């Protein structure tokens, strides 16, 4: 049922430029729950987004960022991958501890580049990503509803 909800959300928002942040957060929670079935205590998600119903975001953007963190980082029960989503000014900041996989398929960064272009076209703002100490940080622009 959860998988069906995820697929339905993607299909329903395929042609839409913006969705409410609270709906996007609910969607990413469902996506993360499916990932937890496989990884259990190896992955952690913390969300701190006050007034999410007052903002809009590019659809499926948070899921892409979670998927990116999962794809590029190793995880174990002793060293879990910790992902945090929080609102900061006019951005949603998605960060994770960096634990690069030893063997990683060649990354073209297509997911991030495509999302960056979608954000630029829809919001005329920049998606920013950077490494700071042992954290990978993405600043995803949002707008007030």
The confidence score (pLDDT) of residue 37 equals 93
Q: How confident is the model at residue 7 (pLDDT cuts 50, 70, 90)?
A: confident
Residue 122 has pLDDT above 90, yes or no: yes
Q: How confident is the model at residue 133 (pLDDT cuts 50, 70, 90)?
A: confident
Rounded to whole angstroms, how far apart are CA atoms 115 and 111? 6
User: 23 - beta bridge partners?
Assistant: none
Residue 120 has pLDDT above 90, yes or no: yes
The model's pTM is 0.91
What is the three-class DSSP state of 85? strand
Q: What burial letters (b/e) apply to 58-70, b meaning 16+ CB within 10 Å?
A: bbbbbbbbbebbb
The confidence score (pLDDT) of residue 105 equals 58
In Å, what is the CA distance from 27 to each residue of 21, 60, 69, 121, 135? 10, 8, 17, 23, 24
Residue 91 has pLDDT above 60, yes or no: yes
CB 92 within 8 A of CB 142: yes
Measuring CA to CA, which residue among 52, 33, 42, 137 is closest to residue 94?
Answer: 137
The confidence score (pLDDT) of residue 107 equals 64
The confidence score (pLDDT) of residue 8 equals 86
Neighbours of 122 (CB within 10 A): 18
Rounded to whole angstroms, how far apart are CA atoms 46 and 81? 11
Mean pLDDT of 47-58: 96
Residue 106 has pLDDT above 70, yes or no: no
Measuring CA to CA, which residue among 61, 63, 44 is closest to residue 6?
Answer: 63
> What percent of the chain lies above the pLDDT cut of 70?
95
């Amino acid at each position: 049922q959860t998988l069906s909800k995820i697929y339905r959300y993607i299909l329903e928002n395929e042609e839409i430029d913006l969705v409410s942040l609270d709906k996007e957060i609910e969607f990413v929670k469902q996506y993360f729950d499916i990932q937890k079935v496989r990884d259990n205590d190896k992955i952690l998600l913390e969300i701190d987004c006050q007034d999410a119903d007052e903002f809009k975001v590019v659809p499926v953007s948070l899921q892409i960022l979670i998927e990116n963190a999962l794809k590029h980082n190793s995880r174990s029960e002793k060293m879990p991958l910790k992902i945090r989503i929080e609102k900061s000014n006019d951005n949603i900041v998605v960060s994770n501890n960096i634990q690069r996989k030893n063997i990683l398929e060649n990354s073209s960064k297509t997911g991030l580049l495509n999302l960056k272009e979608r954000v630029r076209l829809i919001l005329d703002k920049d998606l920013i990503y950077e490494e700071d100490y042992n954290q990978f940080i993405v600043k995803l622009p949002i707008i007030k509803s």
